[in-house]
Structure 1
Amino acid sequence: MNYTEEITNYYARLEKTIESLDKEALNQVMNLLQDAYKKESRIYVCGNGGSASTASHLMNDFNKGLSYDQEKKWHVVSLNDNVATLMAISNDDSYDKVFSKQLEGNITKDDILLAISGSGNSKNIIEAVKEAQKVGAKVVGMTGYDGGKLYQMSDFNMHVPINDMQITEDIHLTFNHMMMSVFYKKVANEK
């Protein structure tokens, strides 16, 4: 089999989508996150499936990659990473509440919820957004497709305008790496 045409087409679509991103919206999110860093606020992050791994990856890159050997640390919490808690909430309440129940009583108005959903319609993500909104925390939606409910409910958006989950998730991961790279150069050692 020769897959070169399909490979070329995939990367062409990826490149075209990257070119169409709203860079000013990304800049606004980065300023919001930098402000949270300065205030030592928490940034809660969550997602399902591939987006769960993006949430974990982002937490790792910010808490280790950007914080390692730095006097001032980032405070990123992935709501995906305690399996026992996820299973207990799923079992005792419902999967729709796995993130909102973790935020309840913990998230404050000075914190940020970075919610990741390719479709923008994941029920547990929407419930988490509602919980964050109860206390006045800012919500950043990381979405694809038309953005769904999450796009509409978010204060800030990191949107990938394509109806393709794989390219959406590819670009979501590049958001993480782009932010880490820029913050490492611009924010590390900032007093």
Structure 2
Amino acid sequence: MDPVSQLYNVFAAYQASLELLHKQLPMIAEVADTLASTVRRNGRIFIAGNGGSHSLGEHLCAELIGRLSYEARPVGAFVLQNCTPVTTALSNDYRFEIALARELDALARPGDVFLAISASGESRNLVEAALRANEMGLTTVCLVGRSVSPLGDGCHVRLATPSPEIVVVQQVHLVVVHLIWLALEQVLGAGEPAG
């Protein structure tokens, strides 16, 4: 397949995924409401992902603590696996698959939110963390690539972006992250537009 044809195919996959996302807008607003009620109770949001999804989690964390479109109350948000010595120590002393769960044990409390991002929905460390978060009384939310996945099945709320193209899933997850934050700004009471 020539490069231009491949680009048209990927673009068509974006369009299809965005159409499916359009149907999930009420659920995205529900996630924003959940996050807002957590923030109002002084709860915290713990975000996790691997690779590009981890970077997307950092992006969301920056928006939650900073701002996107409007001045809003900063949100207590943390990205797990963001401290290399902790991640490597837990992976070495225990197992990589439970390192995130161990971080939640140390940092989270009932009423907080665990938000996992995974294009595959099969990352064992994220699945284990979601299970542990549920046991601890956290609300679990995930952004996944498939409607059915171990991670999606283990979370209270699943926002799925079904596509065989990982690049499409990751790009649409970026859109979801921005939509969550835009809705959250409104729910928390947006102030002046950001400069």
The Cα shift of 1:139 comes to: 0.3
Distance 1:182 1:101 in 2: 31
Task: Please report how far the alpha carbon of residue 155 of structure 1 lies from its aligned counterpart in structure 2 after TM superposition.
Answer: 0.7
1:134 matched residue in structure 2: 135
> How many residues were matched structurally?
189
Q: Does the aligned pair in 2 maintain the 1:66–1:188 contact within 8 Å? A: no
Mapped partners of 2:182, 2:25: distance in 1:
16
CA shift for structure 1 position 30: 1.5
Residue 172 (structure 2) pairs with residue 174 (structure 1): no
Q: Deviations 1:9-36 (Å, cap 9, x if unpaired)?
A: 2112101111012222222211111212
Equivalents in 1 of 2:173, 2:148: separation in Å?
A: 13
- Secondary structure, aligned partner of 1:121: coil
Corresponding residue for residue 10 of structure 1: 10
More RCO (CA 8 Å, sep 6+): 2
Q: TM-score, normalised by structure 1?
A: 0.89
Report matched runs for 1:141-152 at 5 Å.
141-152=142-153
Counterpart Cα distance in 1 of 2:174 and 2:134: 25
Q: Identity of counterpart residues, as a percentage? A: 25
Q: Which shifted more, 108-117 or 6-15?
A: 6-15
Residue 155 of structure 1 aligns with which residue? Answer: 156
Q: 2: CA distance between counterparts of 1:19 and 1:166?
A: 16
Partner amino acid, structure 2, of 1:40: N
> Which secondary structure does the structure 2 equivalent of 1:150 belong to?
helix
Aligned residue number for residue 84 of structure 2: 83
Equivalent residue of 1:65, what SS?
A: coil
* Secondary structure at the counterpart of residue 116 of structure 1: strand
Q: 2:48, 2:79 within 8 Å by CA — same for their partners in 1? A: yes
The more displaced of 77-86 and 176-185 is: 176-185
Which consecutive residues of structure 2, in runs of 5 or more, have no partner in the other structure? none
Q: Which amino acid aligns with 2:107?
A: N
Give CA deviations for 1:65-105 in whole Å, capped at 9, x if unaligned. 259965x3201110031111111111111111221110004
User: CA-to-partner distance for each residue in 1:105-142, whole Å, 9 max, x for gaps?
Assistant: 42112100001121211110011112111121110011
Partner SS for 2:107: coil
| Residues 145, 164 of structure 1: 8 Å contact kept | no
Alignment map for 1:76-115 (pairs within 5 Å): 76-115=77-116
The answer (yes or no) to whether the contact 1:29–1:157 under 8 Å persists in 2 is no
Distance 1:134 1:59 in 2: 24
